[in-house]
Amino acid sequence: MKIFFAVILSFLTVTSFSQSAIRVTVIKCESRQNPLGIETPTPSLSWQMESDKRAESQSAYQIVVSDQADFKPENANYWDSGKKESDQSIHVRYAGKQLSAAKRYYWKVRVWDKTGQPSKWSAAGYWQMGLPSKSDWGKAAWLALTPWTDSMRVVPGIHVPHNNPKFGKKVSGAHPLPMFRRDIRISKKLKRATAFITGLGHYEFSINGKNADTDFLSPGWTNYDEYTYYNTIDITGALKPGRNALGVMLGNGFYNVPNERYRKLLVAYGNPKMICKVLLEYQDGSTEEIVSDETWKVTESPVTYSSIYGGEDYDATREQKGWNLPGFDDSKWKKPLIVNKEEKLVAQIGYPMAVMDTFNVARISQPKPGVWVYDMGQNASAIPQLTVSGKAGTQVKITPAELILDDGTVNQQASGEPHFYQYTLNNEKIQTWQPKFTYYGFRYIQLEGAMPEGEANPNTLPVVAGVSSLHVRSAAPRTGSFSCSNDLFNRIYALINWAINSNVTHTVTDCPHREKLGWLEETYLMGNSIQLNLDMELLNKKLFSDMRSAQLKNGLVPDIVPEYVPFEGGFRDSPEWGSASVILPWYCYQWYGDKSLLLDNYEMMVRYVDYLTSKSNQYILMHGLGDWFDMGPGPMGESQLTPKGLTPTATYYYNATILAKIAAILGKQADIAKFTDLAANIKKAFNQKFYDKTNHQYGTGSQTANAMAVYLGLAGGAEQDLVYKKLNQNLVDNNYVLTAGDIGFHYLVKVLSEGGASDVLFKMNNRNDVPGYGYQLAHGATALTESWPALRNVSNNHLMLGHLMEWFYEGIGGIRQAETSIGYKNLIIQPQFPGDLTEAKASYQSPYGTISTSWRKEERYVTVEVQVPVNANAALILPVAESAEVTENGKGIVSRPGITIRGKQIFVGSGKYNFRFKN
């Protein structure tokens, strides 16, 4: 009889093979390589290692820090940790001398292997401090073009006011958008130059006519009444001896949403403004500061309309050639207004947005005279780029869309209309333009007022030489990859990935067009799916700041953060959404191993769960949206198949269990008892209200109800197995048709994958005949849609419902953490071989390094290749007969380097392995 034969990869001393030194390969400060703008006085330091030896681990480390770039370890003048006997290699806190604002620090680390042999010192890395206090900004002032009065303010925002005349032009975007300039002189040999800068809502910073960085839509979105992000940019290479020019252009962003064109909401915090401090450090040790003040000049920019929702207009005839070059005549420009409003400035957390991909035209059509539609082949968060020539003053209208109507023109009905761009040409030369301060989700680009190159042009309209789609998202690095022998699953992986790509920006958005809002349930339900593909550690930290900022006095964390407009009912207070404030910090601690995530957010978590307790009736919650967009008989929206109180109460229970664990980690003894008791009371009430003991199911027996109860441990004792069996039987009886929605599908995937039912998941998703992933692809989707049936009247690029991504990595790929693991230190490698799959590959860049699996089924044998990073360990679980022979690199596992057998288990450490066993 076949059994599961466990192969547990662990750190064990093995003496049967030769030793080689550990190499420190990657070092990070605050989870980034060589970061700028660090404000914490005790930055966290992490490193990754490699070794030619298997089963290798760190037994000790030493960190040295200096303010000199070329320092020797023995001359470290800020911190020498000494040799620390520890295997900790992630999030070691700096504990040296006090750090100074704006100063750069250099560091190195060496480690000792498990036998006590030291490595070489790592290459030096660095971090540069930001400006954590108001005084650090010196005399830098906020500069504006036009005045602002509080009577023009609309905060909180208003949801879809439909051009309410009450607000007139005060939030109409009628005030002009500014651009600022200043010449500076570099009179001595420069060592380093750093710009600390921000602009509201967004800014573009140039030096000597060229952009100072590749950032898009900086700074990140925040609750502007609480704090504003600034960016730290190394501009040393952009400056030259003698005269230089600094230039800044501004757009509205979420800081001011105009009333014209499409808008999900109306909000106005203030008029566009900027603040800047440039620190010049010279080779002779002297320094100089250039700050934003009355010596700058300002005028109206060629951007005549800017809206994060409505689009952008640019009049190239208003360009002033050379405005951001040294020596430009700005005598006709104005002195800027000094804005006295206080703004709390905080260094931006995480990666900026940037252009990450470019799509070229796949097909051109002409649905109507004068209307040309360009199919870019991929639905993505993007901006159009236009290359055109024509008469000065002529205009080209650019309208993006996800879909096309039956007549072939673009369709914005479900994505927010009208959103468009108008470009006014300035001469007959070929010119290339793209929006600076907005974006949209689209596949198609409709052009009016111009002709494609090579077409008959009797009216001498502008001629389009090129159209591109520039995909914009967070510049967070990729962390994972997956592929398998099933073409449909590879296409589903890409489908979900494009929803992830399109909705990881300065927050985690629901869609890149209609709303662009941070609905919180996606951050944890889709959190694992996202972080397996993109590095989310820093953006999630930013989200926690957003949550803390948005939390009300009564403890409520609203469904959306930043909360620019308070919505009503379940759209503001749904426990499955607000519980991201508890669940996501816990998940992030597990993923990344940073204990500060728990310390910094513990008060917020406790206050939110106390709020839920105040809203409960005998530990039952009955409010909220429930299993949003489940597949029921009626129109999609609020939960149809699962009793509304079931999902919030189950989530409430999950919160309590998490807080009991966190309290134990933080040593809060009273809270351990408080939340353990609360969880027990919720569980008892939940079962009394929702459990049908006769039919062994919860609520109506929906996929969501039973999956949540089993996965969260609400089904007690022997009932757990009975409910799990009922869940599986219901799937069989209903021909494996999925019905779970936004909340429940995550738990359904998890419980089936971890319960060994990958064949069920395979049958549910290896099809295109019923609503689901294959159905969406069969109907032309190139990004995950908002609804299982890919309805045309809802978003066709939406983040929710992508939970199958977890199964690709954790199920088929077999890469997941052990239950008590932190930071992927202790792994379980358990690849699953469902259906007709014959091979699969998965990799993930963990805090310790690369984890990868690759397996292949042949006629008689299965080969499984595994890579585990130094200082981590794992458990490989393979479905083989107890007496079956398992080989590693063609030899019996007893004799293989790094392998020790104990009973029926095989213990192995880090390294690369090639296992083979009979199919």
Does 480 have pLDDT greater than 60?
yes
- Assign 579 a pLDDT band (cuts: 50, 70, 90): very high
pLDDT over 60 at 720, yes or no: yes
Q: Identity (one letter) of the amino acid at 407?
A: D
Q: Where are the beta strands (DSSP E) in 124-263?
A: 125-129, 142-144, 154-159, 178-186, 190-200, 202-207, 210-211, 215-216, 228-234, 242-251, 256-257
Amino acid 149: pLDDT: 85
| CA neighbor of 385 nearest in space, from 430, 451, 435 | 435
Q: Would you say residue 197 has pLDDT above 60?
A: yes
Whether residue 206 has pLDDT greater than 50: yes
What is the chain's mean pLDDT, rounded? 94
Place of tokens 């800081």: 255
Give 806-832 as a DSSP string: HIIIIIIS-EEE-TT-STT-EEEE---
Closest CA to 200 of 223, 181, 183: 223
pLDDT in tens, 436-477: 999 999 999 999 999 999 999 999 999 999 999 999 999 999
Stretch 797-810: mean pLDDT, rounded? 97
Helix, strand, coil in percent for the chain, rounding step 5: 25, 35, 45
Mean pLDDT score, 266-271:
92
pLDDT exceeds cutoff 60 at 170: no
pLDDT in tens, 619-628: 999 999 999 9
C-alpha distances (whole Å) from 186 to each of 233, 242, 326, 390, 913 are: 18, 5, 12, 40, 57
For residues 748 and 788, give the distance between their C-alpha atoms in angstroms, rounded to a whole number: 15
Q: What is the pLDDT of residue 298?
A: 98
pLDDT at 87 (0 to 100): 97
Judged against a pLDDT cut of 70, whether residue 166 lies above it is answered with: no
**pLDDT band at 878; cut points 50, 70, 90:** confident
SS3 730: helix
Q: Is the pLDDT of residue 896 over 90?
A: no
Q: Do residues 373 and 367 lie in contact, with contact meaning Cβ atoms separated by under 8 Å?
A: yes
- Answer yes or no: are the C-beta atoms of 769 and 484 closer than 8 Å: no
Output the pLDDT for position 1. 34
Mean pLDDT of 594-606: 98
What mean pLDDT do residues 408-431 have?
Answer: 95
Residue 140 reports pLDDT greater than 60? yes
Task: Tell me the per-residue pLDDT of 897-913, one tens digit each, with 9 for 90 and over.
Answer: 777 776 667 777 899 99
User: Three-state DSSP class for 354?
Assistant: strand
pLDDT band at residue 427 using 50, 70 and 90 as cut-offs? confident
Q: Is the pTM of this model over 0.85?
A: yes
What confidence tens digit (pLDDT) does each residue in 371-404 have? 999 999 999 999 999 999 999 999 999 999 999 9
Q: What is the mean pLDDT of residues 646-664?
A: 98
Give the pLDDT of residue 907: 75
Alpha helices in 616-754 (DSSP H): 646-666, 669-690, 703-711, 718-733, 744-754
The DSSP code for 519 is B
pLDDT bracket for residue 62 (50, 70, 90): very high
pLDDT of residue 26: 97
pLDDT above 50: residue 834: yes
CA-to-CA dists, residue 1 to 485, 879, 884, angstroms: 28, 11, 11
pLDDT tens digits for range 77-110: 999 999 999 999 999 999 999 999 999 999 999 9
Distance CA(127)–CA(28), nearest Å, equals 9
Q: What is the pLDDT of residue 343?
A: 78
pLDDT level of residue 11 (50, 70, 90 thresholds): very low
> What does the block give as tokens for 161?
């006011």
Of residues 634 and 879, which shows the higher confidence score?
Answer: 634
User: pLDDT value at position 165?
Assistant: 53
User: What band does 843 get if pLDDT is binned at 50, 70 and 90?
Assistant: very high
**What is the phi/psi pair of residue 771, to 5°?**
-50, 130
Mean pLDDT for the stretch of residues 807-834: 96
Give the pLDDT mean for 10-39: 74
Stated as kind and residue range, the H or E segment containing 346 is strand 345-347
The model's pLDDT over 497-515, given as tens digits with 9 standing for 90+, comes to 999 999 999 999 999 999 9
Of residues 223, 231, 268, 269, the one with CA closest to residue 545? 223
In one-letter notation, the amino acid at residue 40 is T
Give the C-alpha separation, 283 to 69, whole Å. 13
Question: Residue 277: its pLDDT value, please?
Answer: 98
Q: Which residues contact 798 (CB under 8 A, 6 or more apart)?
A: 499, 503, 510, 511, 783, 784, 785, 786
Question: What span, in angstroms and rounded, lies between the C-alpha atoms of 788 and 167?
Answer: 39
Give 660-676 pLDDT, tens digit per residue: 999 999 999 999 999 99
Distance CA(561)–CA(565), nearest Å, equals 10
Other beta carbons within 10 angstroms of residue 866's beta carbon come to 25
Grade residue 16 by pLDDT with cuts at 50, 70 and 90. Answer: very low
